Amino acid sequence: MGATLPGYTCRTMTRDEVAQAIDWAAQEGWNPGLHDHETFHAADPGGFFVGLLDDEPVASLSVVKYGARFAFLGLYIVRPGFRGRGLGWALWQHGMGTAAGRRVGLDGVVAQQDNYRKSGFALAWRNVRYEGRGGPAMAPDARLHRLDSLPFESVRACDQPFFPAERGAFLAGWLRQADATGLGWVEAGAMRGFGVIRACRRGWKIGPLVADTEAIADALFAGLASHAAPEEPVYLDIPEPNAAALALTRRHGMRMVFETARMYTGQAPAVPMDRLYGITSFELG
């Protein structure tokens, strides 16, 4: 598949080009993780696309496939100076063409909702980014465990209800990335929540964060935030419909800094929103 604009071609990215697209995302103020290019590319090496104008990379897009029925779109960027020429739209068509037959999700800026609707996406809910600060060390709790000390299958089973497709390969890479820590809450022999914090270009991001109760979510958040220094920013992307997640941000003195529109083609998947406290990634879902 390719574009029809003179001198413009669209193709799959190399791993190094994914790193370049992450740099573009940083320039847009999206504050990616320090190792996102590694975990993103490993999730679907064929799911990242670059638009080249006279062989110069000018646009990026990811359409990461999770099995045969679901994909997630992100990293939709056209470099400043090349916008308004249809280059992004041509790359969009190229990338979406690889997701035929799949429901597709995205987190887009709210101002672009109408454009996404024209491409068949419908609003499901808003995700809202909150910023706080690193927290003090927590007192030991026998129910709180490092994820790398727990069976991976228990983590995957805990994660599965919150995502509309199997994503074990991505999750395994996400948990073992450098400069990241995962914690799980185990009670009566069962995992009742987990979360991951990773280093970003600025500060740290927590995601995912899932928990059976608000108290467990709060304990996991505090444990994860304690891995950042008190003066360092910590970010959490919450689904707006979860009132308990909003209450968590208020208890920890966080402020809203950004929001996205979570949209899907077709019907939005059923998600246990009352147990989802932190989105994994605006780029990969």
Element (H, E) at 91: helix 87-97
So where are the chain's domains?
8-101, 129-278
pLDDT at 269: 96
Residue 5 is encoded by which pair of tokens? 């604009």
Residues 175 and 148 sit within 8 Å (Cβ to Cβ): yes
Strands 56-66 and 121-133: unpaired
The sign of the torsion formed by the CA atoms of 40, 126, 210, 146 equals positive
| Four-way CATH pick for 8-101: 3.40.630.30, 1.10.1450.10, 3.30.1380.20, 3.40.50.300 | 3.40.630.30
Query: What per-residue string of b and e applies to 203-217 under the rule 16 or more CB within 10 Å gives b?
Result: bbbbbbbbbbebebb
pLDDT in tens, 104-135: 999 998 888 899 999 999 999 999 999 999 98
- How far apart are alpha carbons 252 and 263 in whole angstroms? 28
Task: Please state, in angstroms and rounded to a whole number, the distance separating the CA atoms of residues 115 and 105.
Answer: 14
Percent of the chain with pLDDT over 70: 99
Residue 269: asked if its preceding bond is cis (omega within 30°), the reply is: no
pLDDT value, residue 3: 45
User: What was the pLDDT predicted at 137?
Assistant: 82
Distance of CA 64 to the CA centre of its chain: 12
What distance in Å separates the CA atoms of residue 167 and residue 261, rounded to the nearest whole number? 22
Inter-residue contact 217 to 209 (CB < 8 Å): yes
Q: Do domains 8-101 and 129-278 have the same CATH topology?
A: yes
Three-class DSSP category at 90: helix
Task: Report how far residue 46's alpha carbon sits from residue 126's, in angstroms, rounded to the nearest whole number.
Answer: 28
C-alpha 284 chain-centroid distance: 5
pLDDT at position 111 is 84
CATH 3.40.630.90 for domain 129-278:
yes
Q: Which helix (DSSP H) or strand (DSSP E) does residue 49 occupy?
A: strand 48-53
The pLDDT value given to residue 1: 43
Would you give the end-to-end CA distance of the chain in angstroms?
25
Residue 270 CA to residue 17 CA, distance in Å, equals 34
Q: What is the pTM of this model?
A: 0.95
What are the pLDDT tens digits along the chain (285 aa)? 444 689 999 999 999 999 999 999 999 999 999 999 999 999 999 999 999 999 999 999 999 999 999 999 999 999 999 999 999 999 999 999 999 999 999 999 888 889 999 999 999 999 999 999 998 888 889 999 999 999 999 999 999 999 999 999 999 999 999 999 999 999 999 999 999 999 999 999 999 999 999 999 999 999 999 999 999 999 999 999 999 999 999 999 999 999 999 999 999 999 999 999 999 999 999
Please name which of 119, 110, 163 lies closest in space to residue 275, comparing C-alpha atoms. Answer: 163
